[in-house]
Structure 1
């Protein structure tokens, strides 16, 4: 089973998913901490196994739950992105790319590790555990943050539970949605994404795709990344701002994946993000519209 290519955006423009993009044809898809929330996420993954096993048996008859081979994609990516959500300054960071898939199991540096299932009708669902890096009030080479936020305090990181669902509508279009819930009691916040993906070109060597997404969060998420409390305002140059729940950004992204042979591929991506509603008037948002980009080289077997 080939895992559906999709990565959820966070408050900052996300690290992209650089796996080989499958065609939109269904046939091509064959090509902690022990608090109660963590236990609930793990149990959700475990409870899905019997259903996935049954569906997998129905799908191929003799196929096994864990498949007959392990697919691995590894590489490196250069990502140009703002220092944090709404930051005026940008930076370039280098990130490893690793995707391992076998049957219903997967590990992905962009989505974490968990379970996945895809049906003949083009329905896809995955459940995984990931880690939200939060935001620092100091400069960092690999985490969102800036010294310009000094006095705001850090937005703590947390293990998260991520659920992704997708339905293929036509061979070149799908609709999808994703939700991410933090599992740390001291860092409760939830974020959501709904979008559409279009395959504009798919050939033997090239795939060009377009993504349209709307991102939202609950009050705690939006306040953590875009709000300024009275106490924070007293310690910083930012005015107090209360961010409510709802949409905080809309994004348009394009990507081009080019095959360099049987195993090697390059991916170039550009995403434009417009902060809106609960974020655009935040004093933390220096630029309401931002552009991020990425370039990756990967090897798959």
Structure 2
């Protein structure tokens, strides 16, 4: 089981990154477990110009039965219900962090908290052997299970993963995320009351592409049980998200993330 699959989803949630595990790993039946700790440097919230460092626990869990599997990948739990290796498809449930009340930006803080959301939906991805590595193309659609954003978002991505030797592995990915009006207004809109409290102009965010993202990771197998990982990602907010005063006046459309992790594979 490749450790960076789970950390990549934790730090920069993209569907089809280079962190997707190799087919030979997926074919292994039974339970696989990884535990560890990661240090993550990331924006405080969507569109923030202020960053935070977070030490986070790591749990990677996968149960495989032939081509089918259930896997905990960072904040997402997904299950492939198809066999035959032609396509992976199945349900997914995912955690999305919100906006806390103790952020540094006083104007955005006055807009209020946004609770964490639990999203559910479906994913599909196809893996192809290209040269010495694996090319993965995938899509994922999610909707809110509660009353946080009550919207829909969809991500499409492509990634490439290559084992350099018996210890080093490198990956890269590119993705884009679309979101509907409800989702965009939750994270980027400013109501009349919010404008009065924050000093921002009222803003009604519209449906569209929320962001485009690129990322890369490098992992090193220290031993049969221990692995180390470094990764980075850059996300650019676009369209209605970038035009929001939360981003244009109070934050930044440029969103970067880096993480380092040490993992133990059982």
The TM-score with structure 1 as length reference comes to 0.74
8 Å CA contact retained: 2:121, 2:141: yes
Distance in 2 separating the partners of 1:221 and 1:9: 20
1:131-155 Cα distance to aligned partner (Å, 9 max, x none): 333222333xxxxx85442321222
Larger RCO: 1 or 2 (CA < 8 Å, sep 6+): 2
Distance in 1 separating the partners of 2:42 and 2:237: 15
In terms of fraction of residues, the more strand-rich structure is 2
Paired residue for 1:181, among 124, 143, 147?
143
Q: 1:246 Cα shift?
A: 1.3
1:189-238 Cα distance to aligned partner (Å, 9 max, x none): 22221110012444211111110010121111111111112221111121
8 Å CA contact retained: 2:234, 2:254: yes
Determine the structure 2 residue equivalent to 1:300.
265
1:258-299 Cα distance to aligned partner (Å, 9 max, x none): 111111111111101111112111111121222210101111
| Cα distance, 1:184–1:239 mapped onto 2, change above 3 Å | same
8 Å CA contact retained: 2:136, 2:160: yes
What's the secondary structure of 2:234's corresponding residue? strand
Q: Do residues 291 (structure 1) and 252 (structure 2) align?
A: no
What's the secondary structure of 2:184's corresponding residue? helix
Determine the structure 2 residue equivalent to 1:102.
63
User: Structure 1 stretches of 5 or more lacking a match?
Assistant: 32-66, 140-144
Distance in 2 separating the partners of 1:271 and 1:247: 18
Distance in 2 separating the partners of 1:79 and 1:117: 32
What's the secondary structure of 1:287's corresponding residue? coil
Distance in 1 separating the partners of 2:182 and 2:58: 30
Distance in 1 separating the partners of 2:140 and 2:21: 19
Paired residue for 2:97, among 126, 129, 133?
133
What's the secondary structure of 2:113's corresponding residue? coil
Distance in 2 separating the partners of 1:258 and 1:4: 10
Distance in 2 separating the partners of 1:164 and 1:294: 25
Equivalent residue pairs, number: 256
| Cα distance, 1:202–1:21 mapped onto 2, change above 3 Å | farther
User: Structure 2 stretches of 5 or more lacking a match?
Assistant: none
Q: Do residues 258 (structure 1) and 217 (structure 2) align?
A: no
Deviates more, 1:281-290 or 1:180-189: 180-189
Paired residue for 2:195, among 213, 220, 233?
233
Query: Cα RMSD (Å) of the superposition?
Result: 3.2
Alignment of 1:74-93 (within 5 A): 74-93=35-54
Alignment of 1:17-36 (within 5 A): 22-23=21-22, 26-31=23-28
The TM-score with structure 2 as length reference comes to 0.83
1:89-117 Cα distance to aligned partner (Å, 9 max, x none): 11110111112222333334421x45334
8 Å CA contact retained: 2:41, 2:51: yes
Distance in 2 separating the partners of 1:4 and 1:205: 13
8 Å CA contact retained: 2:15, 2:156: no
